A and B are shown apart, each in its own frame.
Chain A
Amino acid sequence: MSTVLTVPEPGGAEPVAEVVPAPRRRRRRLLPRHFGARIALGFLIVGVLAAIFAPAVSPYDPNEQSLLNRLAAPSLFGGEGAHLLGTDELGRDLLSRAIYGGRVSFTVGFVAATFAGLLGTVLGVVAGYYRGIVESVIMRTVDILTAFPFLIVALAVVAVFGAKLSVLIIVLVLWEWVPFTRLAHAKTLNVVSTDYFRAAVAIGRRGVGILARHVLPNIAGPLIVVWTFVVARSIVIESSLSFLGLGVPPPTATWGGMLSASRGYLDTAWWIPLVPGVAITLVVLSVNVVGDWLSERWDPHGRR
C-alpha cells in the first residue's frame, strides 16, 4: 500500500481524505505522480480516437497503391516525399495503414476482453457463492482450459471458420474468461466469509441482490486490473494470428499482417517493420502501464 487515508479531525469543518505518500517513497520526484501512467493513458486515448476517426485523420487511403512511390523513406526521419512514416512495398502510406490497423486490434482487444470479463466474472461469482456442484463444474473447466495450448486451438478454429473479426473475438472470449473466473471465485470466497456479508444474509438478502450489492463492488477493482492485462494479451494474440497469416485477411490493414509482409524488406526498408512493430508495442505497453497503475491503486499485492 503506498497510500493511507487520514482520519478526519473531530472538530474539522469537513472530513478530508488526504492522500499521504508512504514514508518508503521519499525520494524527490523529478516528474509528477504517475507520470508514466498519464502518458500511457493519453497515448491510448489518442490512439483509440485516431482508430475510430481513421477516415478523417489518416493522410491517405490505407489501401491506395502507388507503385511509383514504393519503399519511400519516412519524411519524418529525413526521407524525401510526402509520406510521414514512409510507404511499403506497394507504395501504400504506412501511417494510414498503422491507424487503420489499430481499428482491428482495438476492436478485438476491447470487445473480447470485455465479454470475457463479463462472462468470467459471472461464472466466478456464481461458483464462489453457490458452491457445490456448480462450483466443481466451473472450476474443473477452468483447470482443463488452463492446460489447453490455446494458440493452436485458435489456429485450428480460425482455419476452419475463416478469419473474420467475429470469429477471432468469439475464440478469444471462450478462452480469456478463465483468469476472470479464477480471480472472481477466489475473491468471492473471501467476501462470503466476512462479517458484513453475514450481516447482509442475516437481514434477508439473497441471490442476485446480494451478489450485485455486496460482492461485485468489493471485487471489481482487481477484476478491472485483470481486464487491462487481458486487453493487452488479446491485442497480442490478434496480431500474432495476423502475423501467422491467420488473422483478418489482406488487404485490410492489421499490425501483424503488416509485420509479416515486411519480412522481405528487413535489410532495405527498416521503416516497414518498424512502424507496425512500434505501434503494437506502444499500445500494449501503454495498456500494461495503465493496468499497473490501477493495480497499485486497487490491489496492494500487485498483479496475480
Chain B
Amino acid sequence: MAKLLRQRLLQLVLVILGLSSLVFFLVRISGDPASAIAGADADPETLAAIRSNLGLNEPVLVQYVRFLGDLLVLDFGDSYQYRSDAMALVLDRFPASALLTLLAMLIAVGLGVPAGVLGAVHRDGLLGRAVNGLAILGQSVPNFVLGLVLIMIFAVSLGWLPSFGGEGVMSLILPAVTLAAFICARQMRLVQAYTLEELSKGYVRTANSLGYSTRRIRYRHILRNVSVPMLSLVGLELGQFIAGSVVVESVFSWPGLGRLMVESVTARDYPVLQAGVFVIGVLVVLINFIVDLLYQVVDPRLKAQLVTR
C-alpha cells in the first residue's frame, strides 16, 4: 500500500513536471508572449512594459526556475484574455465538465456492461451479433460526427432537444450520449470478451450444479470477475475520455474545461493552458490511483500482489 502510494506520487510529480515543462518551453519557442497579451498591433513601449512586468527579459533558465516555484504554490498567473486568475477560471469551468463526464460514464457503464454480458451469453444468436456490430460501430464513429448527426436528428429535425447549452437538464442529454458512445462500445466489447472467458470456467459450472439462478450467476459471480479488467479499462481510457470531452464540448458549445482549453490554445492564452493541463494531469493520475485501490476492493486476490510488488 505504502509502495503503491509512493509509486503514484512519483508518477504524479513526473506527469505534472513533464506536462508543465513541455507547455513552458512550447510557449517560449512559439514567440513572444507579450505580443499575445497586447495584441498584434501594440506599440513597442507597451510590449516592453509587459515584458519587464512578466520577467520575460530574464534568461529562460531563470524564468523556468521561477515558473517551477510558482507551480509549487499553484500560481499560474493571470489569463491574457480575461485578465483574471487562470486557475480560478479553470476551476470555474471544471464542474460543468465533471458533470458531463460523470453522466457519460454512467451511461457508458450502465448500458455497456449488461449489453456485454448479454452479448456473451447469446453469443451466436441475434443479440450477440447485434452487440458485436454495435460495439465495433460505436468505436468507429468519431464523436464529433456522432454529435453532429444527433444534433441533426434530435435538435434540427425533431426539435426535441437543444443542440447546445450549458443550461437545463435537456441540454445535457445529447453531449452526454455523444461522449458516452465510444466508451460504452469499448465496455460492451471488453465485458463480452471476458464474460465469454469466464463462462467456460469451473466455478460457473459449480454454481449451475448447485442450482443458483442464471441471473445470479451472470450478474454476481461472473460480473465480479469481469469487473477487474473493466476497471483497468476505465483507468486506461481516461485520457481518451478527456480528449473526447474536448471535442464534444466544442461540438455542443458546452461551457466546460475542454472548450476553455481549445479557446486558450487558439487565443494563445498560455497561463490558462498551463492551469488546465495541470488540473487534468492531476485528475488523470488521481483517478488511476483510485482505480488501483478499487482493484483490491473488487478482487481481494490482487491485494497480496500489490503489497509485494
**Which residues does A use to contact B, with CB under 8 Å?**
24-25, 27, 140, 143-144, 146-153, 155-157, 159-161, 232, 236-237, 239-240, 243-246, 256, 259, 262-263, 266-267, 270, 273, 277, 280-281, 284-285, 288-289, 292, 301-303
The reply to whether the CB of B69 lies closer than 8 angstroms to some CB of chain A is no
**Which residues does B use to contact A, with CB under 8 Å?**
11, 14-15, 18-19, 22-23, 26-27, 29-30, 124, 136-137, 139-142, 144-145, 148-149, 151-152, 156, 163, 189, 193, 236, 239, 242-243, 246-247, 250, 261-262, 265-266, 268, 273, 276-277, 280-281, 284-285, 288
B284: chain A residues at CB < 8 Å are 147-149
A155→B38 CA distance, assembly (Å): 22
Q: Are A152 and B142 in contact (CB under 8 A)?
A: no
Known contacts A155-B265, A244-B250, A273-B152; is-contact A281 B242 (Cβ 8 Å): no
Interface of A (DSSP majority class): helix
Q: Are A147 and B15 in contact (CB under 8 A)?
A: yes
Q: Are B247 and A243 in contact (CB under 8 A)?
A: yes
Nearest-Cβ distance from residue A263 to partner chain B, whole angstroms: 7
> In the complex, which of the residues B30, B139, B262 contacts A160, with contact meaning CB atoms closer than 8 Å?
B30
Known contacts A144-B15, A149-B277, A256-B144; is-contact A302 B265 (Cβ 8 Å): no
A-B contact pairs, 8 of them (CB 8 A): A149-B19, A150-B243, A156-B23, A244-B247, A262-B148, A273-B148, A280-B142, A288-B139
A144→B22 CA distance, assembly (Å): 13
A256→B142 CA distance, assembly (Å): 10
Nearest-Cβ distance from residue A112 to partner chain B, whole angstroms: 16
A280: chain B residues at CB < 8 Å are 142, 145
- Interface core residue of A156, A262, A266, A267 (most chain B CB under 10 Å): A156
Known contacts A152-B242, A245-B266; is-contact A239 B136 (Cβ 8 Å): no
- Interface core residue of A150, A152, A245 (most chain B CB under 10 Å): A152
Nearest-Cβ distance from residue B306 to partner chain A, whole angstroms: 15
A259→B288 CA distance, assembly (Å): 34
A152: chain B residues at CB < 8 Å are 242-243, 246, 261, 276-277, 280
Question: What 6 pairs between A and B have smallest CB-CB spacing?
Answer: A151-B243, A285-B140, A160-B30, A277-B145, A284-B140, A149-B280
Q: Are A266 and B152 in contact (CB under 8 A)?
A: yes
B22: chain A residues at CB < 8 Å are 153, 156
> In the complex, which of the residues A151, A232, A301 contacts B140, with contact meaning CB atoms closer than 8 Å?
A232
New A-B contacts (20) at CB < 8 Å, excluding given A144-B11, A148-B19, A259-B148: A25-B124, A146-B236, A147-B239, A147-B285, A150-B239, A151-B242, A151-B246, A152-B243, A152-B276, A153-B19, A153-B22, A156-B26, A159-B30, A236-B142, A240-B144, A240-B247, A273-B148, A273-B149, A277-B145, A281-B142
> In the complex, which of the residues A148, A244, A302 contacts B281, with contact meaning CB atoms closer than 8 Å?
A148
Q: Specify the chain A residue showing the minimal Cβ separation from B287.
A: A147
> In the complex, which of the residues B124, B136, B247, B266 contacts A24, with contact meaning CB atoms closer than 8 Å?
B124
Q: Are B140 and A281 in contact (CB under 8 A)?
A: yes
A113→B22 CA distance, assembly (Å): 23
Nearest-Cβ distance from residue B21 to partner chain A, whole angstroms: 12
Q: Specify the chain B residue showing the minimal Cβ separation from A277.
A: B145
> In the complex, which of the residues A147, A246, A263 contacts B288, with contact meaning CB atoms closer than 8 Å?
A147
A146: chain B residues at CB < 8 Å are 236, 239
